[in-house]
Amino acid sequence: MASSTSQTSTWWQGAVGYEVYVRSFADSNGDGVGDLAGITERLDYLSWLGVDAVWITPFYPSPGHDHGYDVSDYCEVAPRHGTLADFDALVGAAHRRGLRVMVDIVPNHTSSEHRWFAAARRDPDGEHRSRYLWRDPAPDGGPPNNWRSHFGGPAWTLDEASGQYWCHLFLPEQPDLNWRSEAVRDDFDKILKWWIDRGVDGFRVDVAHGLIKDADWRDNPQIAPLTEGMDPRAAFNAFEHLHDLNQPDNDDIFRRWHRLCAPHQAMLLGEVNPPGPERMSGYVSPGALDRAFFLRLAMLRWEPRRLLEMARAMHDAAPQGISWVMSNHDQPRPVSRFGGGTAGVRRSLAMSTLMMALGGTPFLYQGEELGLDDGVLRGGGYDPVTVRNVGATSGRDGCRTPMPWDSSPHNGFSAAQPWIDAHPRRAGQTVAAQRDDPESPLHCFRSLLAARRQHPDMWRAPLEWIDARDPQVTALRRGSITVVANLSESRTDVALGSPGWQPVFESRSGSRLDGPACDAVSVPAETSVVLVNDQR
């Protein structure tokens, strides 16, 4: 476990997290869907890899319209994923190995089958009505304003019975909660406390930037035209989200949660999508969120300049506040985004090496350590974004195919046909094969994490940027550590300013190096290196 000598140290300082997409990680009971007991069986693998914490995506009861992000009971486990006893066993087994466990809390919306929404819909005059966002139609009878759903179409659905619309930034089956309601705030305090009492070490907060909406329900400015059959994400991005996202009083909720979580050392990690670095630093200001994901690096294709510029600007805005990610269960995998094949693997490893030196609390997404590209489906789509916008988008299924453990049927994920029907992964992409291959991406990631643990300056010493004189190259110094990320297509030579620098990690060879100490380094194309100087 990462440690720090400071009095105010928290477990997440210096830690590296690992996202488990529960449906597709490991299925212990042979029903084709991943479960909590399956995760417990694989904890030794995660310890061996060298991560410190596991974030588990929602495993609560849910009708599954958005694969668990439509929660119908926040304090239970869905039978498809196990039981509360399985959860307790998982937490106990993780803690015995020094691993922390984070759960995913989904506060922006519930399922339409949650008892609060059922009651709110049934009785417009009842106490539950104000837990959700209801508005009368516009004068023409249409939606109350121009807000869009992330998943396509308007963010409003008409309730015929009451004649009012409900707001949903995602599916109609995911009605948005009213975070100006004290009842909602009180209930979520209880939900957080309930999981803390069960031993969790923190929360990943879904859509943390969306909880509070504009009190006057103003239209968002439109910045691009909407066209027939447009990708829903492009349609969402055709508006400037001035009034539905990132409202200033949103952060009050996290200050309240911080008071509740901090005494228990429970980390608050927000999924946010701020308009820029300045707003990001507000989210992670003292007493608010402990960390926030910076998702742009997990969305970009291979654009070295932009990747480096964004990483730098975001680091400088919130030096220890970011959870860096190159991938998650919503985005194409980096190997695919960065060109696929060996080039994709090489580029993603170069970026991951830099990411591990940017401070904060980085996260890997299951399978990233294997250098996986997107899985290929055998049949139709599963993600509601694809299913409900046929032909407009490829959706999120490619990054959600089963974790390939070995070359047995279904890649060792399940004894049964998995819930998502994808082509099997080839042997070289499995955990079993890569464990036996010291040159594999898996060993590369393991060595990188080991280097970070062995040299804590890599995340905790103050960071200075070194001028590398090429916008496709970045170099940084943290105390006794220098990292050079060369994302260009040619070798680059960087002077280190003093002798005695020992290369200890190179992303391309995937191994720890024992080369001679030097005062300059020559870094191959699309490669990052880590150097240590014991004299500093």
- What amino acid positions are annotated as catalytic residues? 206, 271
Question: Toward ligand NOJ, which CB reaches closer, 373 or 397?
Answer: 397
List phi, psi (to 5°) of 290.
Answer: -75, -35
Q: What residue number has its CB nearest to ligand NOJ?
A: 69
Q: Encoding tokens for residue 96? A: 């015995």
Question: Toward ligand NOJ, which CB reaches closer, 171 or 481?
Answer: 171
Question: Toward ligand NOJ, which CB reaches closer, 52 or 397?
Answer: 397
Q: How far is the CB of 70 from ligand NOJ (least distance, A)?
A: 8
Q: Encoding tokens for residue 459? A: 């995340």
Question: Toward ligand NOJ, which CB reaches closer, 171 or 504?
Answer: 171
For 44-54, b/e burial (b = at least 16 CB within 10 A) is ebbeebbbbbb
Q: How far is the CB of 19 from ligand NOJ (least distance, A)?
A: 10
Cα gap 30→419, rounded to integer Å: 11
Cα gap 383→1, rounded to integer Å: 36
Q: Within a 10 A sphere around the Cβ of 183, how many other Cβ atoms?
A: 14
Question: Toward ligand NOJ, which CB reaches closer, 110 or 353?
Answer: 110
Q: CB of 96 within 8 A of CB of 61? A: no
Q: Which amino acid, residue 494?
A: V
Q: Which long-range contacts (CB under 8 A, 24 or more apart) does 490-495 make?
A: 490/525, 491/522, 491/523, 491/524, 491/525, 492/468, 492/522, 492/523, 493/520, 493/521, 493/522, 493/523, 494/466, 494/468, 494/520, 494/521, 494/523, 495/519, 495/520
Q: CB of 307 within 8 A of CB of 351? A: yes
* Residues in a beta bridge with 294: 324
What is the DSSP track for 169-192?
SS-TTSPBB-TT-HHHHHHHHHHH
Question: Toward ligand NOJ, which CB reaches closer, 206 or 251?
Answer: 206
Question: Toward ligand NOJ, which CB reaches closer, 396 or 508?
Answer: 396
Question: Toward ligand NOJ, which CB reaches closer, 364 or 531?
Answer: 364
Question: Toward ligand NOJ, which CB reaches closer, 329 or 508?
Answer: 329
Q: CB of 51 within 8 A of CB of 152? A: no
Angle between helices 341-355 and 441-454 (to 10 degrees): 10
Q: Encoding tokens for residue 109? A: 């919306």
Q: How far is the CB of 120 from ligand NOJ (least distance, A)?
A: 19
Cα gap 220→145, rounded to integer Å: 8
What is the DSSP track for 28-74?
SSSSSS--HHHHHHTHHHHHHHT--EEEE---S----TTTTSS-S-T
Q: How far is the CB of 204 from ligand NOJ (least distance, A)?
A: 9
Q: How far is the CB of 330 from ligand NOJ (least distance, A)?
A: 5
Q: How far is the CB of 283 from ligand NOJ (least distance, A)?
A: 16
Q: How far is the CB of 66 from ligand NOJ (least distance, A)?
A: 5
Cα gap 271→251, rounded to integer Å: 13
Q: How far is the CB of 529 from ligand NOJ (least distance, A)?
A: 33
Please provide the size of the chain in residues. 536
DSSP H helical ranges for 421-536: 431-435, 441-454, 457-460
Q: Within a 10 A sphere around the Cβ of 268, how many other Cβ atoms?
A: 26
Of the candidates 204, 198, 194, 196, the residue with the CA atom closest to the CA atom of residue 89: 198
Q: Within a 10 A sphere around the Cβ of 259, how many other Cβ atoms?
A: 11
Q: How far is the CB of 186 from ligand NOJ (least distance, A)?
A: 22
Q: Is 246 helix (H, G, I), strand (E, B) or coil?
A: coil
Q: Encoding tokens for residue 259? A: 């008071």
For binding to ligand NOJ (CB under 6 A), which residues are involved?
66, 69, 106, 170, 206-207, 271, 329-330
